[in-house]
Amino acid sequence: MGTMSIDLDIALAAELDPIVDVAASLDLNPENIIPFGWTKAKVPIDVLDAAAQNATPGRLILVTAMSPTPAGEGKTTTSIGLTDGLNELAKTNPEIGRAVLALREPSMGPVFGMKGGAAGGGYAQVVPMEDINLHFTGDFAAIAAANNLAATMLDNHIHHGNELDVDPRRIHIRRVVDLNDRALRNVTIGLGGLNGGVPREDHFDIVVASEVMAVFCLATSVADLKERLGRIVVAHSRDRKPITVSDIGAAGALTALLRDALAPNLVQTLEHTPAFIHGGPFANIAHGCNSLLATKAALTLGDWVVTEAGFGADLGAEKFLDIKCRAAGIWPSAVVVVATLRALKYHGGVEVADVQTPNTEAVIEGMSNLVHHCTNLRDIFGLTPVVCVNRFPSDTDEEMAAALDHLHGLGIAAVESTHWADGGTGAVPLAEAVVEAAESAGDGDAAQRARYSYELDAPLEDKIRTIAQRIYGAADVDIPAKVRRKLKQFADEGYGDLPICVAKTQYSLSTDPTLRGAPTGHIIAVRDVRLSAGAGFVVVIAGDIMTMPGLPKEPSALKIDVTEDGDITGLF
Amino acid sequence: MGTMSIDLDIALAAELDPIVDVAASLDLNPENIIPFGWTKAKVPIDVLDAAAQNATPGRLILVTAMSPTPAGEGKTTTSIGLTDGLNELAKTNPEIGRAVLALREPSMGPVFGMKGGAAGGGYAQVVPMEDINLHFTGDFAAIAAANNLAATMLDNHIHHGNELDVDPRRIHIRRVVDLNDRALRNVTIGLGGLNGGVPREDHFDIVVASEVMAVFCLATSVADLKERLGRIVVAHSRDRKPITVSDIGAAGALTALLRDALAPNLVQTLEHTPAFIHGGPFANIAHGCNSLLATKAALTLGDWVVTEAGFGADLGAEKFLDIKCRAAGIWPSAVVVVATLRALKYHGGVEVADVQTPNTEAVIEGMSNLVHHCTNLRDIFGLTPVVCVNRFPSDTDEEMAAALDHLHGLGIAAVESTHWADGGTGAVPLAEAVVEAAESAGDGDAAQRARYSYELDAPLEDKIRTIAQRIYGAADVDIPAKVRRKLKQFADEGYGDLPICVAKTQYSLSTDPTLRGAPTGHIIAVRDVRLSAGAGFVVVIAGDIMTMPGLPKEPSALKIDVTEDGDITGLF
């Protein structure tokens, strides 16, 4: 959503509340938080645990989206705007209570690459924007260090005699950096003779693609973090036995590196709404949402919690519900499905270059995609969807009215929202629709309201087929024999009951990024499967997955600078 | 100096003062510091600049050492003990004023490797020990990110058409991690065809070996940091023109990544003495001392500043004086030369396995090494050396008395010190000797008292010869024709006036690590020279230099753990 430097200018002009005041607004004793400067803090896990003892959990609102265009439809901005909008609503209706935000931390890769930062945009931002987009509180550096220590210890084990009989051709852990570094996608390491270790092919990933990141985001405590880290399968031996982080003796050291990072980070929106920004796993080979501990912290401390899941609802929302909510015992009270007229036109057959040209017919044509996601959420997961159409300057009133009318005609709640331009007040209609949807869902126990798209005790292959057919509208899945054997091996090793984490294109409900709208009769071709034993899911790869992005010819880094007064410029 | 877990046990049992109180003890307004938790903080550069306006700089005490044994002689512990000892002395003699410590930040490589942490030991430690030894305030992560972004942008430039005509065989910048990762010493990157960039040979270094680290430690302001970063030569073109960080458009982004890290970190000793711990360049291919900004901060805020330089006095002290003090316009009032009876016996011909056996004769025999360092400091640099003999349990009173008598007979101040066991009170005799030495030096202007071992306007080759002959006691240097041509090239490119940074073994005054004592008549064979245009020195390589350590068969990481209560154990 970022427009060059406007976001940073707005962020820098903002007057932030001291973070102790933000903590106090959540009834957190300022002395119990861990400050990082005066506008960022971590909230210790034991403080959160104590607060949870006496708290009624808030209502959880998930923000997801229709299948996006490459420009993105503004989920993060909507999440921020909605939270501010709920608090705006509470000013006139105190019964609403207080809303808290729970988002992912940005990776530095896109900041220096093409996409820019991920702290929202316009008047819907979390601040301090430049801190959040750069090192923030050091979580990603800690995750990278932990991941890389495991990789180093594994290669060191091989170098010093390889007692575990690690097969250098069957190493799964990859080193990571938090940059888009194309040249590290495919490398050979261990060269240079005796002094350089044992040669082998290797690959670097961006830190958000690591299993350590996924583990970090699903851990429920430091003890659980250590157990999950220990379970990560880093390699197989020559006789095909899994070799874990525990086997190489690294679980304790990795936990030591991550212990402090595991406490959720607290910042604020431009409107001083408390925001937990913590963890940021990829939405393809991982589950794509912020840390479970941060979401639980927000539910403990807030009456409303707005959170976001990556990519479109077929990927992000499905994983959020089937993986994270199932693991955490939480369940949303409503789901916001973000759409734009641009994306609707794109799914209605308009080319990207023409999506700003008024075309009401294409808007309606593209509804098939948006409605498919909404229907999934309602009929499969039992949730009430609220469509949020983010307003852009090129949108016409006629197109907008046609879009909203169409959805209303299908019985789907839908509003237009202008939080980018107007902040929380621009999202009040959205907030009202969300409150209404949540109230219709009732306040029953989360575990009782939960309806998953598949049951864990089904065979792995059946779970994959169920997701493909129910969520993607596919006719079937195509799983090659080699992949079937791997699934059987996972089941034999005791991992058959894990949930599924699909990695496929976000641009289509199918695995073909050019298939727009709501395709039917398509086949989901599974290329490979990977075990994430620490995170606790089986990754199903159905398409190109990118685990190390590259920089464009003119990366954003070229425009980033520091003035003589020490101000950062060019960040967006 | 670390003994397994004793250091951590002592550190964890310590009651720390809130960091705002430590800041207040330096007359820093608590609201003007940037807290990182409650016991660590950064002090903003503008706050330090303002304080410097009205301040009389304190007296600077350099802690260096005789040529060390692999066990280390305890420079860090002595620096901490001496600072606490000066403050102990001030309790009965308030005219002494207050003492402040300025040390390097530890690298995580040794923490997980063999050597352990670098936050002192016993009752002479800086705390919170486990934070300082792990991520601390994120400086090293920021330096790694900045360094790696430059490397990524260079490879990206080559990938996207290579307008600057970068020669892939002449790339100087290396990617870094803050781990001992042997397998990354020699790698090939850019493999995998079009999608993977341009293939080339590459090498990873540990972060402390990067020029970005050296630049960080010599920068005087954010603006100076940006200029120095921009000058780093990352590669040469095919027609042998230098290509800098500025040329690839990365200076601004690197500065943005380092801006916040550049503010010095404030912590405390076990005895609540303020300690600036900031920056940590290698003592071989860089200058091996903490950041110039931190040293200046300490001089602004303290009446006495104790700081340390890496390795023995031939390397660390020489570079501290000829490079850092010259750049900063500062000069010590006295120099502490750390020795141990073990090291004296080693230089007296005793094997490492036998240095704990009483042997007064060998102690006296090994004096040649210690005295050579002291004489250099006195006669070349005009400083008053104070020898500190760190007491170990296996030392006999007879050996200790003989050592001190020998030095006193030569007119060299020398005391025994027990700060490891006793904290500041154990270093009071050392503190008294240091005060006496400093008072004899007088309080003249630092720039006027400064005497360097060579002048900057001499030819590069002459400067190298001067160091070899004056400091190392060598007969001459041997510089191959190929290296001479490189020196000529550096001079032609305008770098002839830079100081020299020698990389050689720390175990001998010569370049042969087995030559003990004070060898004479030896030749310093120069293998290679490298330009560090951003840091502002020419590195002269005269021996094996290690820029990426490896892990031992049983790395310390295996013993590090986190208890159920969340406490880190096994760190030393």
Cα of A234 to nearest chain B Cα, Å: 16
Return the structure tokens found at A57: 């959990």
Determine, for residues B252 and A177 on separate chains, whether the beta-carbon distance falls below 8 Å: no
Label residue A567 exposed, middle or buried (CB < 10 Å: 0-12, 13-18, 19+). middle
Catalytic residue among B40, B98, B104, B319: B104
**Alpha helices (runs of H) in A451-519, residue ranges in sequence order:** 460-466, 481-490
Query: pLDDT grade, residue B473 (50/70/90)?
Result: very high
Cα of A563 to nearest chain B Cα, Å: 8
| Model confidence pLDDT, tens digit, residues A394-421 | 899 999 999 999 999 999 999 999 999 9
Determine, for residues B257 and A134 on separate chains, whether the beta-carbon distance falls below 8 Å: yes
Helix (H) or strand (E) holding A336: strand A334-339
| Closest-CA residue to B41 (of B30, B52, B50) | B30
Torsion sign over Cα A297, A303, A309, A313: positive
CB A495 within 8 A of CB A531: yes
Say how many residues make up chain A. 572
| Model confidence pLDDT, tens digit, residues B228-268 | 999 999 999 999 999 999 999 999 999 999 999 999 999 99
Cα of B323 to nearest chain A Cα, Å: 26
Catalytic residue among A40, A59, A75, A319: A75
The rounded mean pLDDT for chain A is 95
B567 touches chain A (CB under 8 A): no
A255 touches chain B (CB under 8 A): yes
Active-site residue, A490 included: no
Q: How far is Cα A11 from Cα A371, in angstroms, rounded to an integer?
A: 35
pLDDT of residue B446: 85
Q: In 10 A of CB A337, how many CB atoms? A: 30
Q: Which residues of chain B does A559 touch, with a Cβ-Cβ cutoff of 8 Å?
A: 252
The mean pLDDT value for A560-566 works out to 93
What percent of chain A is modeled with pLDDT above 90?
A: 91
pLDDT of A3 over the 50 cut: no
- SS3 percent helix, strand, coil of chain A, rounded to 5, is 40, 20, 40
Q: Which residues of chain B does A570 touch, with a Cβ-Cβ cutoff of 8 Å?
A: 252
pLDDT of A2 over the 50 cut: no
| Model confidence pLDDT, tens digit, residues A308-348 | 998 999 999 999 999 999 999 999 999 999 999 999 999 99
Chain B (144-183) residues lying within 8 Å, Cβ to Cβ, of chain A: 144-145, 148-149, 151-153, 155-156, 159-161, 175, 177-183
Active-site residue, B482 included: no
Q: Rounded to two decimals, what is the model's pTM?
A: 0.96
Facing residue for B557 by CB, picked from A151, A250, A557:
A250
Active-site residue, B226 included: no
Determine, for residues A38 and B37 on separate chains, whether the beta-carbon distance falls below 8 Å: no
Q: Of residues A476 and A11, which shows the higher confidence score?
A: A476
Determine, for residues A256 and B561 on separate chains, whether the beta-carbon distance falls below 8 Å: yes
Helix (H) or strand (E) holding B41: strand B41-42
| Model confidence pLDDT, tens digit, residues B429-460 | 999 999 999 999 887 788 889 999 999 999 99
pLDDT of residue A545: 84
A324 touches chain B (CB under 8 A): no
What percent of chain A is modeled with pLDDT above 70?
A: 99
Q: Tell me what ipTM this predicted complex has.
A: 0.96
pLDDT of residue A11: 84
Determine, for residues A34 and B34 on separate chains, whether the beta-carbon distance falls below 8 Å: no
Active-site residue, B115 included: yes
User: What does the DSSP 8-state code read for residue B30?
Assistant: G
Active-site residue, B324 included: no
Return the structure tokens found at A483: 């992949």
Active-site residue, B392 included: yes
CB B524 within 8 A of CB B477: yes
| Model confidence pLDDT, tens digit, residues A467-485 | 999 999 999 999 999 999 9
The mean pLDDT value for A369-383 works out to 98
Determine, for residues B160 and A553 on separate chains, whether the beta-carbon distance falls below 8 Å: yes
Closest-CA residue of chain A to B558: A249
Query: pLDDT grade, residue B2 (50/70/90)?
Result: very low
pLDDT of A387 over the 80 cut: yes
| Model confidence pLDDT, tens digit, residues A24-81 | 999 999 899 999 999 999 999 999 999 999 899 999 999 999 999 988 889 999 999 9
Active-site residue, B91 included: no
Determine, for residues B197 and A182 on separate chains, whether the beta-carbon distance falls below 8 Å: yes
Determine, for residues A155 and B183 on separate chains, whether the beta-carbon distance falls below 8 Å: yes
Label residue A458 exposed, middle or buried (CB < 10 Å: 0-12, 13-18, 19+). middle
Query: pLDDT grade, residue A5 (50/70/90)?
Result: low
pLDDT of residue A54: 86
